[in-house]
Amino acid sequence: MLSFDIRSLASKAVHVDGVLAANDPVWQDDDTRPCTPVHVTGRLSAAGADRYYFSGRLEGEAAGECRRCLTDVTVSIAEDIQLLFVEADTEGADDPDVYVIDSRAHELDMRPALREQWLLAVPAFAQCRDDCKGLCPTCGADLNAGACDCASATDSRWGALRNVRGQSN
């Protein structure tokens, strides 16, 4: 549950402990969706009239592709987040950093804001491991699995050069 009754929020803070599922309708077509439900924990409370503040954390896993070797990787995401929800047509509602909520709504639905925070947290480039060797630019072989023939071709050229040098000495 990531929707909260606005009227009761005004009088009492709530402890948030919910999940945003990978198949939630809030996700859009081009989104990097989580591969497991995103776990959201924290505290949501009124922060003056017509505004609500959330401070907490989101955690989940995103599927990506290593930018060097293109294998599938799972990226763990854990972000501390602070969100300010402001009712439309009130002071501060035009601030780009706040999330505007419909002043006629009975519920504060955190999901659109959480979706945005998730997308900001997902790294643009993933890497399977720090020392990934990547793919050979010539033949496309995965160099993590071992050197390809291109590498040995280079070696034999160097070898030939060494032989030439050896003869000249």
Instruction: Write the CB contacts of 37 (distance below 8 Å, at least 6 apart in sequence).
Output: 19, 20, 21, 22, 60
Question: What are φ and ψ of residue 78, in 5° steps?
Answer: -145, 115
Stretch that binds Zn ion, among 15-23, 49-57, 77-85, 145-153 (CB under 5 A): 145-153
Nearer to Zn ion, 86 or 126 (CB): 126
Least Cβ distance, residue 94 to Zn ion (angstroms): 44
Site for Zn ion contains 143 (CB under 5 A): no
Q: Rounded distance, CA 19 to CA 10, Å?
A: 23
Nearer to Zn ion, 96 or 146 (CB): 146
Q: Tokens representing 101? A: 């909520």
Site for Zn ion contains 139 (CB under 5 A): yes
Site for Zn ion contains 66 (CB under 5 A): yes
- Could you please report the per-residue DSSP string of 85-112? EEETTSTTTT-TTSEEE-TT-SEEE-HH
Site for Zn ion contains 38 (CB under 5 A): no
Least Cβ distance, residue 65 to Zn ion (angstroms): 9
> 10 Å Cβ neighbour count for 42?
21
Site for Zn ion contains 84 (CB under 5 A): no
Least Cβ distance, residue 149 to Zn ion (angstroms): 6
Amino acid letter, 142? D
Out of 8, 103, 138, 152, which residue is the one contacting Zn ion (CB under 5 A)?
138
